[in-house]
């Protein structure tokens, strides 16, 4: 490093520390509401910032990373605007806690407070960069779908930074990310900031043997470095070497820096409760700021006066920034402003452009839902090179020589929904993920943040739970928490549901209401082949994350088959379908209950003349309230039916809203038909009783008609 660089290095370290100090004062004055500091980590982080290129490389920092954000070009004022929760907080508009900075310009991607989730996003980001470099045409803008709103950039030798504390290395997502970084030789630099404590839990309680470097040492393709993270020169050297290794395409790197934590975990924590005085004193002697200052003096790079001048300038900068932040305008409290950027403001999946008619094609044969979904995936992959498909067993064959030689047919998914995709589009557009659901969803988020369109598959809904953290805390709030600066529109396809005769607990689950209870994610659940094709197309082309639930039992059912509707057929979200018009009562449902309710309604009419109106919601978020209201106003009697368990299920919300808004139209209490409040048992006799059957629907309809 030149003298100027060394002075700048110290300035950034000092700037970071003084910004922390100022926030601490502001917190004590109750002008801000939370504080977590970077103190003790500055040398490692300034080194990382100076070794990398803002707006060229990509950054997934965590809440301890003030110094790298400043080194990359974040200003103190921007950071303090977040601390006060200002409308002009560029990272979140007052929605996120302090220390959750982001910047599109600098490529600092919106972070959450969850530890280690970011590791998976970094992987997806690096994969996207590599993919785009190999498919540069894919990056072009395109009218008519989400691509209109995505500025996609990439560099052939870009590097992705991700950091985490040593405590967070206990999280599965850290290990799931090492798996893919290593396997795919991705240009990702991990920085483990080891301050020996995760709040009050010391490193040996998190890391067997107390040293993460020893545990990760056998991952292939990695460059590893372990440094004194309080030594600026050692840190800089380690970071430069690590970044060079990644930039050269040799694989990922992990820099393990031993740092200190002089200010406790956060302002809500007092480390004297769990650390001895002796330990704290010994740590204080390693403060990187004091060490760097002494070093500059000793080397004759700055004298005392030079240090004082530099520090005074920084103090003034922090003061000015704090003064401005104190004057900042606070966010609007209107409902509209609060909900802004929950979903795309640019392109709604309810948009007219998604309302198209099926095309008559030469082949009018009736196709199953599975076939039309497969067609739709192929059509969209032909149309949009940003679409990639991955998940467990979705490829035709990972060992592709035999496939290419025509010796094997290929698998293409346990339900064969993705059959032929790898064969037609290649292994970098359809591939098998490791058996790790958080890996699948987390990577997809990182790719989508770069403007790709991952259509990932979770093999069974029953196994979506390892990805739940990524879905709830990352996928869903990504756009909202960054006040619209970042988004990750993607599709997660998931086979769901029971009626399998032997599906049992772990192959029969429903649970859609858990996801409709999560704002930020669209939830779709078609009941027939044509709807599935039209809705999947909208899901892929729209600008929001979509959970696409495919009922396994409907994949190959005779009910609801349809002719191939052509490559442009789309259905807007939020538009229910009246499956059967009727006068006497309404059944609102979706998924596999649609054919069962239809069967019951037809039988009821044959036997008693009662005329049931059957509504298939098709999309559960958004849902078609107008269609519900119109039907209830017509029939004045309503049953909400679903396959999932009764209590706290999807029907509870619909029934409550009907009670609130349509009470005056009702001639009978709203009724629900749903599964028993338990899991689905293996023995078919038990499954039949646990899940709602056509007879249950018939009985409910008949009783309601008589009410
Ligand atoms: C998934 C998750 N679990 C728990 C927490 C609460 N929490 C916040 S920070 C923290 C400790 C993190 O320690 P470490 O990774 O060592 O980083 P450090 O804060 O020491 O820099 C915990 C438990 C969280 N944010 N995320």
Tens digit of each residue's pLDDT (9 = 90 or more) over 360-411: 988 899 999 999 999 999 999 999 999 999 999 999 999 999 999 999 999 9
Question: Coil, helix or strand for 638?
Answer: strand
Supply the pLDDT for residue 344: 98
Supply the pLDDT for residue 362: 87
Supply the pLDDT for residue 685: 97
Neighbour tally for 568: CB within 10 Å: 14
Supply the pLDDT for residue 303: 97
CA of 451 to the centre of ligand 1 (A): 29
Ligand 1 atom nearest to CA at 166: 16
Supply the pLDDT for residue 361: 86
Neighbour tally for 646: CB within 10 Å: 15
Torsion region of 399: left, alpha or beta (phi above 0 gives left; psi -120 to 50 gives alpha): beta
Where are any strands of DSSP class E within 320-452? 387-391, 430-432
Q: Which of 96, 117, 167 to mutate to test the pocket of ligand 1 (most atoms within 8 A of CB)?
A: 167
Task: Name the token pair of 183.
Answer: 């396997």
Looking at ligand 1, which residue's alpha carbon is closest to its atom 25? Answer: 114
- d(CA 670, CA 652) in angstroms, rounded, equals 10
CA of 430 to the centre of ligand 1 (A): 35
Q: Which of 96, 174, 196, 199 to mutate to test the pocket of ligand 1 (most atoms within 8 A of CB)?
A: 199
pLDDT in tens, 99-108: 999 999 999 9
- Tell me the pTM: 0.98
Pocket of ligand 1 (CB under 6 A): 64, 113-115, 164-168, 193, 195, 197-199, 265
Q: Which of 163, 198, 473 to mutate to test the pocket of ligand 1 (most atoms within 8 A of CB)?
A: 198
Q: Among residues 507, 517, 551, 642, which one is catalytic?
A: 507
DSSP letter at 433 equals: P
- d(CA 197, CA 216) in angstroms, rounded, equals 19
- d(CA 319, CA 313) in angstroms, rounded, equals 10
Task: Name the token pair of 682.
Answer: 């293996």
Looking at ligand 1, which residue's alpha carbon is closest to its atom 18? Answer: 165
Looking at ligand 1, which residue's alpha carbon is closest to its atom 19? Answer: 198
- d(CA 256, CA 204) in angstroms, rounded, equals 15
- d(CA 263, CA 37) in angstroms, rounded, equals 7
* Residues of the chain with confidence (pLDDT) below 70: none
- d(CA 285, CA 287) in angstroms, rounded, equals 6
- d(CA 45, CA 13) in angstroms, rounded, equals 9
DSSP letter at 108 equals: B
- DSSP-H helix ranges across 414-519: 421-425, 437-449, 468-470, 478-481, 512-516
Helices and strands: H and E segment counts in the chain = 26, 19
CA of 168 to the centre of ligand 1 (A): 6
Supply the pLDDT for residue 38: 98
- d(CA 122, CA 159) in angstroms, rounded, equals 10
Q: Identify whether 135 is a catalytic site residue.
A: no
CA of 196 to the centre of ligand 1 (A): 12
């Amino acid at each position: 490093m030149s003298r100027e660089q060394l002075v700048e290095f110290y300035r950034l370290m000092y700037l970071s520390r003084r910004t922390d100090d100022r926030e601490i004062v502001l917190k004590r004055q109750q002008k801000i509401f939370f504080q977590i500091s970077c103190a003790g980590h500055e040398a490692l982080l300034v080194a990382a910032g100076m070794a990398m290129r803002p707006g060229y490389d990509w950054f997934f920092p965590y809440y301890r990373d003030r110094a790298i954000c400043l080194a990359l070009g974040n200003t103190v004022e921007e950071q303090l605007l977040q601390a006060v929760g200002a409308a002009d907080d560029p990272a979140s508009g007052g929605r996120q806690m302090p220390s959750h900075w982001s910047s599109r310009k600098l490529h600092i991607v919106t972070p959450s407070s969850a530890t280690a989730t970011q590791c998976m996003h970094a992987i997806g980001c690096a994969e996207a960069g590599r993919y785009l470099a190999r498919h540069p045409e894919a990056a072009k803008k395109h009218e008519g779908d989400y691509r209109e709103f995505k500025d996609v950039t990439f560099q052939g030798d870009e590097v992705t930074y991700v950091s985490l504390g040593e405590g967070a290395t206990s999280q599965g997502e850290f290990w799931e990310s090492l798996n893919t970084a290593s396997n795919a030789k991705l240009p990702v630099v991990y920085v483990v900031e080891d301050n020996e404590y995760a709040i009050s839990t010391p490193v040996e309680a998190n890391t067997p043997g107390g040293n993460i470097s020893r545990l990760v040492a056998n991952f292939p393709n990695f460059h590893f470095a372990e440094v004194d993270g309080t030594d600026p020169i050692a840190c800089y050297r380690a970071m430069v070497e690590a970044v060079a290794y990644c930039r050269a395409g040799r694989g990922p790197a992990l820099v393990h820096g031993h740092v200190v934590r002089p200010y406790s975990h956060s302002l809500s924590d007092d480390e004297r409760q769990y650390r001895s005085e002796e330990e704290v004193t010994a740590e204080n002697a390693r403060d990187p700021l004091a060490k760097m200052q002494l070093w500059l003096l000793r080397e004759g790079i700055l004298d005392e006066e030079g240090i004082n001048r530099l520090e005074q300038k920084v103090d003034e900068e922090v003061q000015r920034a704090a003064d401005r932040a104190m004057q900042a305008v606070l966010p609007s409290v209107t409902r509209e402003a609060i909900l802004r950027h929950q979903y795309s403001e640019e392109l709604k999946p309810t948009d007219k452009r998604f309302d198209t008619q099926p095309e008559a094609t030469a082949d009018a044969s009736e196709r199953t839902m599975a076939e039309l979904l497969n067609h739709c995936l192929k059509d969209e992959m032909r149309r949009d090179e940003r679409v990639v498909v991955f998940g467990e067993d979705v490829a035709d064959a990972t060992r592709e020589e035999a496939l290419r030689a025509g010796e094997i047919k290929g698998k293409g998914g346990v339900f064969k929904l993705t059959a032929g995709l790898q064969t037609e589009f290649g292994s970098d557009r359809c591939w098998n993920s490791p058996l790790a659901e958080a890996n699948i969803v987390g990577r997809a988020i990182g790719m989508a943040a770069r403007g790709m369109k991952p259509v990932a598959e979770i093999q069974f809904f029953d196994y979506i739970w390892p990805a739940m953290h990524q879905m709830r805390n990352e996928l869903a709030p990504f756009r909202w928490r960054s006040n619209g600066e970042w988004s990750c529109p993607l599709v997660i396809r998931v086979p769901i549901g029971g009626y399998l005769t032997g599906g049992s607990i772990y192959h029969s689950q429903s649970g859609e209401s858990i996801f409709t209870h999560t704002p930020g994610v669209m939830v779709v659940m078609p009941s027939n082949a044509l709807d599935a094709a039209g809705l999947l197309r909208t899901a892929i082309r729209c600008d929001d994350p979509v959970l696409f639930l495919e009922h396994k039992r409907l994949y190959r059912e005779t009910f609801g088959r349809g002719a191939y509707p052509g490559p442009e057929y789309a259905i807007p979200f939020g538009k229910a379908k009246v499956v059967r018009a009727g006068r006497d009562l309404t059944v609102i449902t979706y998924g596999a209950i649609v054919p069962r309710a239809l069967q019951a309604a037809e039988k009821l009419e044959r036997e008693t003349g009662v005329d049931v109106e059957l509504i298939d919601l098709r999309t559960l978020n958004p849902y078609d309230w107008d269609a519900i209201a119109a039907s209830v106003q017509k029939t004045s009697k309503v049953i909400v039916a679903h396959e999932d368990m009764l209590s706290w299920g999807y029907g509870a919300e619909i029934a409550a809203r009907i009670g609130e808004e349509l009470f005056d139209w009702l001639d009978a209490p709203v009724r629900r038909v749903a599964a028993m409040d338990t899991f689905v048992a293996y023995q078919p006799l038990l499954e039949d009783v646990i899940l709602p059957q056509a007879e249950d629907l018939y009985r409910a309809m008949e009783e309601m008609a008589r009410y």
